[in-house]
Structure 1
Amino acid sequence: MKRAKTQSHLERLDKLASMLKSEDFLTTKDLSDALNVSTRTLFRDLNILKARGMPIDTDKGRGGGVRLHRQWGLGKINLTTSETIDLLISIAICEKMNSPLFMKSLNSIRYKLLALLSPDQKANIKALRNRVLIGSSASPQVHASYEQSQFPECHALSAAFLYQQPINISYIDEKKTVTERLIEPHYLYFNYPVWYVFAWDHLRQDYRTFRIDRIQDSNVIEETFVLRPFTEFSHLIATDSPILL
């Protein structure tokens, strides 16, 4: 009986929230009649929704109105796993930059993002975050060459990284030599403002680092690779101590 009553209350709160979202102005009588509750119960429900973060404005007095704040128009955001990992990585990069501005809410934003996910999605994102490393700033020489780079489309590389798929790339090195490579993108490494991919290179049969801005054409292979432990790639970082996200 108690569980049924609780479920009924939750359904009523959902209906009330939907009504507030769908109408610009409703009177307390409209809401009470639609929900078949007393005015006292209605205001108790409105206070619950306010506590959950809905910005509800109420006009006191007979025939008083209830509405969402006029500046509020955003409900729950449904994010894909890739969108969520993009946001979490962006937050980690901002934290690493240690800016004194606009950083106060990052922890709470991260927790709210994680709260949107199922246990399986959380496990997947945790595994992905452990494959992304944040270093310090790149050298002046790297900065200069990066600023002169043509920035390629990276959707194929992102997909290959996320789903552990090999990828064919055309790569241009610092001597402007272009080679065709088949690589397994195991880890990503950010040395501001430059991204690198730590990969197993089938051409060299060895571990290699590729600057992402030097990757030209790319084509994902429809198969998967087994993730190698980071210890097998750690020698690729000469002096910097990376932070796992």
Structure 2
Amino acid sequence: MVNLDRFTIFTIVTQLSRLINILTLLKSRRVLTATELSIKYEISVRTVYRDIQKLIEAGIPVITLEGRGYTLMDGYTMAPVQFTEKEANALITAQHLVNKSKDSSFVSDFGEAMIKIKSVFKSSVLEKSELLNKKIFIFDQANENVASNALSEIQLAITHFNYIEINYRKAEDPNITFRKIEPYAIFSTYQKWILIAWCHLRKDYRAFRIDRIQHFKILQEKFEDRKFNIKQYFKNCSVN
């Protein structure tokens, strides 16, 4: 359960970091287009719309200029983002959990997001959070020391509906097979990240341990969403 929470935590922190960056750009009185933000943060235009809506719901007076983009209402002074000590401690704790992930890209991207978020901590909160950071210990009970470095790229392929080509080796099998897959979801169990995808070789959904992917390539070609249902999947499918 802790491992499943890590992905949720990572998603929240990444989104928070992005919202802070968008606010900073808006504060500079720039007019930002959805396409510009989509390219800058490597997200879909639909995600940009959701981010702007979250800012509006938080009370930020974002104005839509028809045919031009987004800006802040004239005369609005943006208060600095503030975190309580408990909120800061929760983020510090989350980083310790994430650092136990076996995927280096995930750890690196989360660390970059945390640097940005910690930059807005009040000095007193930052001091306490750094003290707590030295007093948290997460023990790794995993017996298998196998790592990966593909999670961040795979996450983008999932949200952008890009095909992936992989060379994959199953457990206890020395043979490597080539697969073209449609990535749909990821989950973590026993500190191992699992990718659920439609496999064109098997003509069905399959689960792939990311650390067993020998090589991967994200294609520009996009696939049609099959409306994958993870609850239905877990009823009758097991990990390769």
* TMscore range, shorter length: 0.3 to 0.5
Normalised by the size of structure 2, how large is the TM-score? 0.40
Normalised by the size of structure 1, how large is the TM-score? 0.39
- Which has the greater radius of gyration? 1
